[in-house]
Amino acid sequence: MIVTLEIPAESKAMIEAHGRASQGCQDALWQALGAAASRGADSIAEQVIMGETVLTPRHGGAGLAGSIMAWPLDRSALLFAVGIPANAPAAVYAGALERGSTIFAKGGKSLAVPLTAEAREFDSPRDMPGLTLIPRKGRPPLLVRVVKQGRGGRAQIDPQWVLVKSVSLRRMTGWFSRAARAAFGVMAETFQGVVGEWMDKWRK
């Protein structure tokens, strides 16, 4: 799930027409695209963390924000990407939130769904310390924290995650598309700033 930043074909043709200066210009555009893409990724992540998207805390925004990045696609074509790479652990879940889908566990494993605000701060229950697995007959197992109630008191359990075989997200949120559109302004400003600095130096 990505958006791409690229230079239009007409602009590329104009750059190539400048002969020896074209290489320096292409280098400057590549740097400008990279800076704009990085700023765009930061902006989208900030929107998620600050609750400025349609996502709610139960969607696990912290984990999604940590997966948003910028990376080069093609140096010669002046092409950068902003988003969540297809091989990222959060890619399937992020896409399901964007478009709506049913996610199934693979290989006989389970999907861990956070139940508390604390659990949502972690990408995976493996990253959350002090959990104990509680099997339940006929119901999905839980990952809990066992809380002792003082000397001689009975232990209480504090459920943090539930392990299920599938999760259905039927509502399309369009969270990434909206956040990317909101980030367009800062990406354009960053791009123009880098190109403007190069042009000032070139004129001198």
Cα–Cα–Cα angle for 143, 145, 125, rounded to 5 degrees = 45
Query: Do the beta carbons of residue 39 and residue 187 sit within 8 Å?
Result: yes
Highest mean pLDDT among 52-61, 127-136, 141-150: 127-136
This prediction has a pTM of 0.67
Q: How confident is the model at residue 33, as a pLDDT?
A: 95
> Once rounded to an integer, what is the mean pLDDT over residues 90-119?
84
What lies within 8 Å, CB to CB, of 125 at 6+ separation is 112, 119, 131, 143, 160, 161
